[in-house]
């Protein structure tokens, strides 16, 4: 056997709420996608060391148009039983306190790559649903329960469970309250496991910020009562401000074919101890069962580890290549994501101009319905991304270019547009926490393609441009603070986009390529 040292996180950039599953000798991790489609990204590995993006499950099963910022697809859970994959997920339609409209669904498939069934509606009592397949063949749905009556603090009121009738595709019988949570509060993300003589309930507590933690309880009867781990939380960075991995929680576990146990969990790596621009990422840690039947980190502490070891049958080299390129000579590569709508031929045309992506314009940058943006996750603190665009706007409401985008309240955009006096120009806009700023600089550009580039250097970023006949890059604007592109439940994206607030159906831009280069070392 070999022990391979890896450096957390194993899934870099926006990859939160990980749920891990082993089927035979293959491991899968599902992560939340929120308002980005296709949703529920699935990573696959044969050794727990190196992971590849295998597929995204949620496509046309959902309608996310109009869903709020930080809403939509939350905390998916995948499981496998008798030749069938099960995916449980929440579609969050409203997050305005004190209420929360969160609808839970189930879909199934014979393969992780589908075809996936039509969604089965389960309930709307709370988020973070999870399906447990008991040894007697019964199936149980768990979820956090939301209670708007709670006056102070978070309104997560604990974990409930109800039996699921797979034949009739409905919940049956009484609802059992399994766990009220601890004083850490905000109890959610339930995952149930059977080991030894006990059912183990693993939950997240303390919220998804600095207080995030993993709490475990157990019972010999599935419906409870559950006893609390006397040394909870079993994982947290809440009292460890110097830890490299912060906001650690939302764990799930897996046993390898070699008998070792591991937990995956979400974490952040804040820049300057305050801004997690890469979003919430996925880390892994070896765990073990104590003689008295409790789950512990193999490190001997409850602190998340930047470096950890994975036991493998053969020697494995840990790799971390985050580079990405699409030259648009074939179908769009699966790394791309879109906002609330899927990329289809109606606005992503790869046939009208050979070796180009012709992107037709959507609504404004802040639209919750038809924002035509193709984007990838920022996975490195230091990176470069560039594209080349040909665009012929005729009004100031038409724009196309290169974006850094967290959400509809926080973005940076270098774009080609039209000015009544100068014609085709390049401009720059910034929106920080909903406060919009239009850079006064107006750069006249010649006909033909314009190359745009953005470089990220930790907390700062720079946008550049050059025309076809130029060799040197020129700055679009001054160096930009990037720390505001952090927060909420997602992470920063880098993308290309086309907008037309005049809503002319014929407005389009042609992109020759998109290239992202990660500059962080392992």
Catalytic residue selected from 17, 128, 285, 386: 17
In whole angstroms, what is the distance from residue 522 CA to residue 320 CA? Answer: 6
Name the nearest CA neighbour of 163 among 108, 223, 105: 223
Distances, alpha carbon 48 to alpha carbons 4, 22, 26, in Å: 10, 10, 9
Which residues, listed in sequence order, are joined to residue 136 by a DSSP beta bridge? Answer: none
Catalytic residue selected from 56, 188, 326, 449: 188
Would you give the DSSP letter of residue 329?
A: S
Given a contact cutoff of 8 angstroms between Cβ atoms, the answer to whether 18 and 10 are in contact is no
Q: Counting beta carbons within 10 angstroms of the beta carbon of residue 82, is it exposed (0 to 12), middle (13 to 18) or buried (19 or more)?
A: exposed
- Residues whose CB is less than 8 angstroms from the CB of residue 355 and which lie 6 or more positions away in sequence, other chains included: 327, 328, 329, 512
Instruction: State both tokens at 432.
Output: 């920080």
- Check whether the bond before 225 is cis (ω within 30° of 0): yes
The answer to whether residue 390 is catalytic is: no
The answer to whether residue 17 is catalytic is: yes
For the chain, the straight-line distance linking the first and the last C-alpha, in angstroms and rounded, comes to: 24
The H-or-E segment that residue 464 falls in is strand 460-467
Instruction: State both tokens at 258.
Output: 């070699």
Would you give the DSSP letter of residue 231?
A: T
Which residues, listed in sequence order, are joined to residue 311 by a DSSP beta bridge? Answer: 3
In whole angstroms, what is the distance from residue 402 CA to residue 496 CA? Answer: 5
In whole angstroms, what is the distance from residue 3 CA to residue 47 CA? Answer: 11
In whole angstroms, what is the distance from residue 454 CA to residue 380 CA? Answer: 13
Would you give the DSSP letter of residue 469?
A: T
In whole angstroms, what is the distance from residue 438 CA to residue 215 CA? Answer: 47
What DSSP line would sit under 10-24, residue for residue? SB-SS--S-EEEEET
Distances, alpha carbon 353 to alpha carbons 390, 392, 449, 500, 504, in Å: 12, 15, 14, 21, 20
Phi and psi, residue 97, nearest 5°: -60, 150
In whole angstroms, what is the distance from residue 196 CA to residue 293 CA? Answer: 8
Distances, alpha carbon 454 to alpha carbons 270, 418, 427, in Å: 21, 22, 14
- Please list the active-site residues: 17, 188
């Amino acid at each position: 056997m070999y022990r391979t040292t890896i450096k957390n996180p194993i899934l870099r950039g926006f990859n939160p709420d990980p749920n891990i599953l082993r089927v035979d000798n293959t491991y899968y991790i599902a992560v939340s996608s929120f308002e980005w489609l296709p949703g529920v990204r699935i990573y696959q590995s044969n050794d727990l060391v190196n992971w590849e993006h295998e597929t995204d499950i949620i496509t046309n099963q959902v309608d996310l148009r109009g869903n709020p910022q930080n809403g939509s697809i939350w905390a998916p859970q995948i499981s496998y039983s008798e030749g069938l994959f099960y995916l449980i997920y929440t579609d969050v339609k409203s997050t305005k306190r004190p209420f929360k409209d969160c609808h839970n669904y189930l879909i199934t498939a014979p393969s992780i790559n589908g075809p996936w069934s039509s969604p089965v509606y389960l309930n709307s009592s709370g988020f973070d649903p999870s399906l447990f397949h008991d040894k007697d063949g019964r199936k149980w749905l768990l979820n956090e329960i939301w209670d708007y009556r709670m006056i102070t603090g978070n309104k997560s009121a604990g974990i409930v469970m109800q039996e699921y009738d797979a034949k009739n595709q409905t919940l049956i019988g009484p609802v059992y309250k399994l766990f009220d949570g601890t004083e850490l509060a905000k109890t959610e993300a339930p995952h149930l496991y059977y080991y030894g003589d006990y059912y183990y309930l693993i939950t997240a507590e303390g919220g998804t910020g600095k207080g995030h933690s993993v709490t475990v309880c157990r019972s010999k009867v599935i419906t409870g009562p559950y006893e609390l781990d006397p040394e909870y939380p079993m994982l947290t960075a809440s009292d460890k401000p110097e830890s490299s991995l912060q906001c650690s929680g939302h764990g799930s576990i897996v046993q390898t074919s070699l008998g070792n146990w591991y937990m995956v969990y979400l974490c952040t790596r804040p820049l300057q101890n305050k801004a997690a621009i890469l979003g919430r990422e996925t880390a892994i840690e070896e765990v073990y069962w104590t003689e008295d039947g409790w789950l512990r980190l193999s490190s001997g502490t409850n602190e998340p580890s930047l470096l950890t070891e994975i036991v493998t049958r053969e020697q494995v080299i840990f790799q971390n290549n985050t580079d990405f390129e699409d030259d648009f000579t074939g179908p769009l590569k699966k790394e791309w994501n879109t906002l609330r709508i899927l990329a289809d031929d109606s606005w992503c045309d790869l046939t009208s101009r050979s070796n180009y992506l012709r992107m037709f314009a959507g609504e404004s940058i802040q639209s919750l319905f038809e924002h035509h943006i193709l984007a990838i996750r920022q996975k490195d603190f230091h990176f470069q991304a560039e594209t080349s665009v040909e665009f012929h706007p005729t009004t100031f409401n038409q724009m196309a270019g290169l974006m850094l985008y967290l959400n509809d309240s926080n973005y940076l955009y270098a774009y080609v547009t039209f000015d009544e006096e100068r014609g085709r120009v390049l401009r720059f806009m910034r929106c920080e926490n909903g406060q919009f700023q239009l850079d006064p600089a107006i750069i006249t550009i010649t006909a033909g393609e314009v190359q745009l580039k953005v470089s990220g250097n930790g907390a700062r970023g720079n946008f550049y441009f050059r025309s076809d006949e130029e060799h040197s890059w020129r700055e679009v604007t001054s160096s930009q603070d990037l720390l505001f592109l952090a927060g909420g439940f997602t992470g920063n994206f880098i993308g290309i986009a086309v907008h037309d607030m005049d809503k002319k159906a014929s407005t389009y831009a042609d992109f020759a390529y998109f290239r992202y280069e990660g500059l962080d070392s392992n």
